[in-house]
Amino acid sequence: MAETVSYDAAMRRALDLAARGPVTGGNPQVGCVLLDASGTVVAEGWHHGAGTAHAEVDALSRVADARGLTAVVTLEPCNHTGRTGPCSEALIAAGVERVVYAVSDPGHESAGGAERLRSAGVEVIPGVLADEVTAFLHIWLTAVARHRPWVTVKWASTLDGRAAAADGTSRWITGTAARQRVHEQRAASDAILVGSGTVLADDPALTARGDGGELLPHQPLPVVVGERAVPADAALRHHPAGLLETGTRDLERVLAALDVRGIRRVYVEGGPTLASAIVAAGLADEYAVYLAPALLGGDRLAIGELGITTMAEARRLVITGVEQLGDDLLVTARPTEGN
């Protein structure tokens, strides 16, 4: 016998479905379940990525007749035509009787779905499991509301905080397990930011690769920040996702340009000058610090001048994760309020 579920349980299922979608590509991860009048799940759907059907439409495509059904969806149905049509209209056209959602759509263009549904006589119940879904979508919601991508600053340093040796070499500070995790973090990002100094010093490929060196399915766009040009023979010129040369040091401008491209997650791979400028400007949302059990001494610090002159001005962070990767540690942290 089919199981009947409460709206909370249906929303939890929708959240599980949402997590199947990609974190990259600009769109939120959204899940949807359709319930019949007795509360039995009759269809499930989720958003498979930008340019494909939204979760509601994906679920609707799995039923012959949606009249009288309740749609339980993690995000307010969108109300605008992008690469796909508005979900509010699809739900109305399908004859759905009730829409239950968790979180309002913060997008200026796409919001208004609930209002549109109500105006067509569909019952709308907002706010079910709102806290859980808000936490799940935190990065996307923050990026959309602020009109700039979520910025993760990553570096690898020795225990004494050095990011390179006196001769400028930094390969490799950490071991293979840590470096593999960096590739996974690249693959979960829309763009990678590097300073022109790192491009000139290291000629990095900045591709996201698997254990065997193979390219992972999603490749982030490499973005070079700085006034100097990328050399004609740089490895970055062969990056599968293309290359964005900004020609500027203006970080706000760079992030605004990335927002326009629908980029929500940026992974900053240094070097120290760019990372410090981002931290000093208060633009770092998260830190991914790979710490190797080695000492280098000298003056090649992972983070340089931040304009801090006294202890009271220290940037305070809260550690959100500590993980051992081979011989190295990955420390993840976020700024505390006001930092």
Ligand X SMILES: NC(=O)c1ccc[n+]([C@@H]2O[C@H](COP(=O)([O-])OP(=O)(O)OC[C@H]3O[C@@H](n4cnc5c(N)ncnc54)[C@H](OP(=O)(O)O)[C@@H]3O)[C@@H](O)[C@H]2O)c1
Decide if 113 contacts 76 (C-beta within 8 A).
yes
With binding defined as CB under 6 A, does residue 251 bind ligand X? yes
Catalytic residue among 3, 44, 56, 286: 56
Q: Is 119 exposed, middle or buried (0-12, 13-18, 19+ CB in 10 A)?
A: exposed
CB 245 within 8 A of CB 254: no
Is 170 annotated to bind a ligand? Reply is yes
Is residue 150 part of an annotated ligand binding site? no
Q: Is 56 a catalytic residue?
A: yes
- Pair 308, 314: CB distance under 8 Å: yes
Residue nearer to ligand X on the CB measure, 74 or 189: 189
Residue 128 backbone phi and psi in degrees, to 5: -75, 125
Contacts (CB under 6 A) with ligand X, residues 9-38: none
Tell me which of 41, 43, 78, 274 binds ligand X, using CB under 6 A. Answer: 274
What is the rounded distance in angstroms from the CA atom of residue 203 to the CA atom of residue 24? 25
Q: Which is nearer to ligand X, 79 or 170 (CB)?
A: 170
43 labeled part of a ligand binding site:
no
- d(C-alpha 143, C-alpha 228), whole Å: 28
Element (H, E) at 119: helix 113-119
Closer residue to ligand X (CB): 22 or 197: 197
CA 297, chain centre distance (Å)? 34
Binder among 87, 133, 164, 283 for ligand X (CB under 6 A) = 164
88 known ligand binder:
no
**One character per residue 252-271, x = contact with ligand X (rule: CB under 6 A):** -----------------xxx
- Three-class secondary structure of residue 300 per DSSP: coil
Give the nearest distance from C-beta 67 to ligand X in angstroms.
56
Q: Based on CB atoms, which residue is closest to ligand X, 42 or 235?
A: 235
Residues 221-250 that bind ligand X (CB under 6 A): 225-228, 249
To the question of whether residue 275 is assigned a binding role by annotation, the answer is yes
* DSSP 3-state of 157: strand
Concatenating the DSSP letter of every residue in 261-329 gives TT--EEEE---HHHHHHHHHTT---EEEEEEES----SS-BSS---S--SGGG---EEEEEEEEETTEE
Q: How far is the CB of 301 from ligand X (least distance, A)?
A: 10
Stretch that binds ligand X, among 57-65, 96-104, 160-168, 320-328 (CB under 6 A): 160-168
Alpha-carbon distances, residue 254 vs 14, 194, 260, 283, 337 (angstroms): 35, 12, 10, 12, 24
| Bridge partners, 221 (sequence order) | 191
CB of 286 closer than 8 Å to CB of 314:
no
91 labeled binding residue: no
For the segment 187-216, give every residue that binds ligand X (CB under 6 A): 194-198, 201-202
Q: Which stretch binds ligand X (CB under 6 A): 46-54, 114-122, 157-165, 206-214?
A: 157-165
Residues that bind ligand X (CB under 6 A): 155-157, 163-164, 168, 170, 173, 194-198, 201-202, 225-228, 249, 251, 269-274, 277
- Residue ranges at the known binding site for NADP(+): 156, 172, 198, 202, 271-277
Q: Could you give the residue numbers annotated as active site?
A: 56
